[in-house]
Homo-oligomer: A and B are copies of this chain.
Amino acid sequence: MAISTIYSHSELEARSRIIEAAREEVLNRGILGLRVANIARIAGCSITSMYRYFGSRDGVLAEVLLQLYEESFAEIYALVLERLGGTGPVVVDDIVACIPMPHSETSQKQHEIRSQVLAVAGTNPILRTKLSASMRARRAMLSTVLDELEHRLPAEVKLDRDIFTVLIFNVNFQYNDLMGDDAVTNEQYAALLRRLIIRE
């Protein structure tokens, strides 16, 4: 259901209170603990008005989970800006520095959030559509960045684009988080990437 209504100030406030409440519930209890009645209670509104803003339970969830999903990439975007911003020359290590490593301070939580979003996308068609559009936009952005990098790398370096679009794009390090002592380390992953992302 498209949200095409024009909202008043107080309606916009209620909408963002609902999103904030749903977000807290997902972060604190996970999607299995999520109850529409709890979200309404925390947001201080009725379930009816919640549905008026978001169409359905699936609509509320889709909105919040997509937001969390996109935020989980904020660290990556920040690195890209930091290491690859501007138009000057770059080296392979600048690119490796922008590829998400398996371990970081927030990585385990981020991996869990992404799995929860994917899990819900399987049964929530609204989220599925939104997530699909978001991922296609992310892939298009990756292509643009790779096009640009080709010109900024030393002339003899050619990127192996399939490594980015087929493998790195589809990696989910929540598997790795579950491996304990057998987990891949950042050093191991970075070394592998340095070897793979350029073609001879």
Contacts and interface: CB of A to CB of B under 8 A. Distances in A.
Interface string A184-199: 1000110010001000
B31 A136 contact: no
A170 B175 contact: yes
A167 B171 contact: yes
Contact of A169 (B115, B121, B175, B188): B175
Contact of A116 (B122, B163, B189, B192): B122
A34 B167 CA distance: 33
A31 B120 CA distance: 8
Interface of A: 29-34, 112, 115-116, 118-124, 128, 131-132, 135-136, 139, 162-163, 165-167, 169-176, 178-180, 182, 184, 188-189, 192, 196
Copies of this chain per assembly: 2
Contacts of A196: 196
Contacts of A173: 170
Contacts of A163: 192
